[in-house]
Structure 1
Amino acid sequence: MGHSHSHKHEVKGKNLLLSIILNVVITLAQVIGGLISGSLALISDALHNFSDVLSLVFSYVAHKLAHKKASFDHTFGYKRAELIAAFTNAATLVIVALYLIYEAINRFFNPHQIHPTLVIWLALLGIVVNGLSVLLLQKDAHHNLNMKSAYLHLLTDMLASVAVLVGGLLMMFYKIYWVDSVLTLLIAIYLIIVGYDLLLKATKMLMLFTPESIDIKDIIKEVHQIKGVKKMHHIHLWNLNEDELHLEAHLDCEEDIKMSEFNQILNQIEQILLEKFNINHVNIQPEFKKVDPKDYIVQD
């Protein structure tokens, strides 16, 4: 039995904390401005920003928990906390979007007078604040699903603010007030698209599904080429979190070898799995003519 580890990009929680502070400011400003101006698009943007504040706080807490050390009571530590945060954040994106669709349809048939000047200025503020937050998290979003969920919240906020700005200009110069509802619908549809994709990825990881980028048959083919290996079976492959890809399996050996000899085989397996499949945690149970199921995938 053996295991191996490798470490990847370290995400920065301080950038997330700064983004939280910025979004609290913009949320308060947009709520007040939306109520005064009567703009549903601005209120919807504020509501989305508020969901962002909650999701960013959740992401920040999860990020801190993920770095707590393992213990006898928590042998994996809290490494999956960020997956839970990503799942929750994605779900809130979809829920907020459905609410916005309802409000937009209702407002379309029951239009309200809107004061575009305040809408324009607050939209500009939203673009600047969310744009800065997006830049802060952009690098980390490429390496961590939790950070990506926070990043997508902020990116959609920035795009929503751009849409609100366009709507405010159209209302100011052309008196096209129905554009407020149309833009809200477009924002909501975009939220559903990005939220569903993230929700699906987080769900697959939480359910311990095999990563889509890896074919277990390819792993078997590579391992079976190693001298001394008879058959790898009873295989499990899953993401513990964004950085750790685990594999555990039983390994039938050709001969009744010493443990020191098995260690040499294990080292070869670990090297192949890390280099070709990016699997950085390997747990192998050695066997020789043991009576047990020899299927590649066994229902435990």
Structure 2
Amino acid sequence: MSHNHIHKHEVKGKSLLFSIVLNVVITFAQVVGGIISGSLALISDALHNFSDVLSLVFSFVAHKLSKRKATLNHTFGYKRAELLAAFVNAATLIIVAFILIYGAIERLFFPREIASTLVIWLALLGIIVNGLSVLLLKRDADHNLNMKSAYLHLLTDMLASVAVLIGGLLMQFYGWFWVDSVMTILIAVYLIIVGFDLLLKSTKMLMLFTPDDIDINQIIKEVHKIKGVNKLHHIHLWHLNEEELHLEAHLDCSNDITMSEFNTLLHEVEVVLFKKFGINHINIQPEFKKEDPKDYIVQD
């Protein structure tokens, strides 16, 4: 198997660990404040923060596991751990969102007075804590799906706190206690939108789907331009994780060549696939007039 490595941003786990500590503090404060004030939006924000604590811990553990080396029993190591974390985090975002919507609708029919001053101060605390966490993870989120899932959890927390603050101010000055439920629903809808996008991306990778930005027909076209290639077939293309893009295929050669000659041909194929498509792990099975299906995609 060929290994052509692309230089990647080195993702650290320290920012994630610090964010976990911050979110534990804000979650505890919001739960107590929500119970005292009677604010469903504040409690729902705390529930969201608590789910974030769990997801951040999961992301942190997955990040550490992904760095472990491969063994005889784990030939790929734990490189897909972060994809699994991203999938679970996205799913929890959506589940929490529906729980919030249910509670908010129920509260619309049975409104209650809310201690808005406490809501305002705790919302401000949430904005500061989550805003700091978002800044810490922003750079890593641009390079890693697992970190992006953690980043999105924290970003939605910050936006939720902004919504709670607006609701608290409206309740304080106008007595509009129904705003608490409306803000909760808006927060939840946003969670569903961002969660679904992340869930879809991580699911595609876990299911070994062909990356959306790569056309297999173009791969075939480019490889078939190489002298000595008859037909590339039995093609499989998938992401092992975000850094490693794998391709395995059968390569039917035009001539009955030696192994050293095939090595030269293989190198040309590797260069084309890496430079034009970013495929950095390649496993090619050489053939010459072998009696087998020659379809591009074959169900093994």
**TM-score by structure 2 length?**
0.99
| Counterpart-to-counterpart distance in 2, 1:225 and 1:295 | 18
Shift of 1:274: 1.1
2:2 aligned partner: 3
C-alpha distance in 1 between matches for 2:100 and 2:57:
22
Asked if residue 112 in structure 1 is aligned to residue 112 in structure 2, the reply is: yes
The match for 2:135 is 135
Aligned-pair distance for 1:5? 3.1
Deviations 1:9-37 (A, max 9, x none): 21111111011001001000000000000
Partner of 1:98: 98
Alignment deviations for residues 39-82 of structure 1 (CA, whole Å, 9 cap, x no partner): 01110100000000000000000000000000000000000000
Residue type matched to 1:157 in 2? D
Structure 2 residue 17 is the aligned partner of structure 1 residue 33: no
1:195 corresponding residue in structure 2:
195
2-structure distance, mates of 1:28, 1:60: 21
Q: Which position in structure 2 is the counterpart of 1:49?
A: 49
Q: Does 1:184 align with 2:173?
A: no
Q: Which residue of 2 aligns with 1:206?
A: 206
d(CA) in 2 for partners of 1:59 and 1:155? 15
Point out the more displaced range, 267-276 or 246-255. 267-276
Q: CA offsets per residue over residues 209-239 of structure 1, 9 Å max, x none?
A: 0001001000000000001000000000000
Q: Distance in 1 between matches of 2:17 and 2:270?
A: 38
Q: Distance in 1 between matches of 2:59 and 2:4?
A: 25
State the secondary structure of the residue aligned to 1:203: helix
| Conserved 8 A contact 1:211-1:239 | yes
For 1:49 and 1:272, locate their aligned partners in 2 and report how far apart those are by CA, in whole Å.
Answer: 46
Structure 1's consecutive aligned runs of 4 or more residues displaced over 3 angstroms after TM superposition are none
Amino acid at match of 2:80: R
TM superposition shift of 1:261: 1.1
TM-score by length of 1: 0.99
Identity across the alignment (%) = 77
CA separation in 1, counterparts of 2:120 and 2:4?
51
Q: Distance in 1 between matches of 2:9 and 2:292?
A: 40
Residue 2 of structure 2 aligns to a residue in which SS?
A: coil
Name the SS of the counterpart of 2:124 in structure 1. Answer: helix
Residue of structure 2 in register with 1:299 after alignment: 299
Partner in structure 1 of residue 281 of structure 2: 281
Question: Secondary structure at the residue paired with 1:233?
Answer: strand
**Which secondary structure state, in structure 1, belongs to the residue aligned with residue 246 of structure 2?**
strand
Whole-angstrom distance in 2 between the partners of 1:4 and 1:229: 21
Q: In structure 1, the residue corresponding to 2:292 is in which secondary structure?
A: coil
Contact residue 4 and residue 270 of structure 1 kept, 8 A: no
- Alignment partner of 1:114: what SS? coil
2:200 & 2:40 partners in 1: Cα distance?
A: 30
Which residue matches 2:246? 246
Distance in 1, Cα, partners of 2:210 & 2:261? 30
Structure 2: distance between partners of 1:89 and 1:13: 17
Amino acid in the other structure paired with 1:240: L
Q: Contact conserved, 1:246 with 1:280, CA < 8 A, in 2?
A: yes
Q: What is the one-letter code of the residue matched to 2:3?
A: S
SS at match of 1:282: strand
Distance 2:291 2:10 in 1: 44
Identify the residue that residue 16 of structure 1 maps to in structure 2: 16
1:152 aligns with 2:152: yes
Which residue of 2 is the match for residue 258 of structure 1? 258
Specify the alignment match of 2:268 in structure 1: 268
Whether the aligned pair in 1 keeps the contact of 2:223 and 2:269 (CA below 8 Å) is yes
Matched-pair contact (CA < 8 Å) for 1:41–1:184:
yes
Q: How big is the shift at 1:131? A: 0.4
Q: Which runs of 5+ in 2 are unaligned?
A: none
Letter in 1 for 2:297: I
The one-letter amino acid paired with 2:214 is I
Secondary structure of the corresponding residue to residue 143 of structure 1: coil
State the aligned residue count. Answer: 299
Provide the C-alpha distance between the structure 2 equivalents of 1:162 and 1:288, rounded to a whole number of angstroms.
Answer: 65
Aligned to 1:72: 72
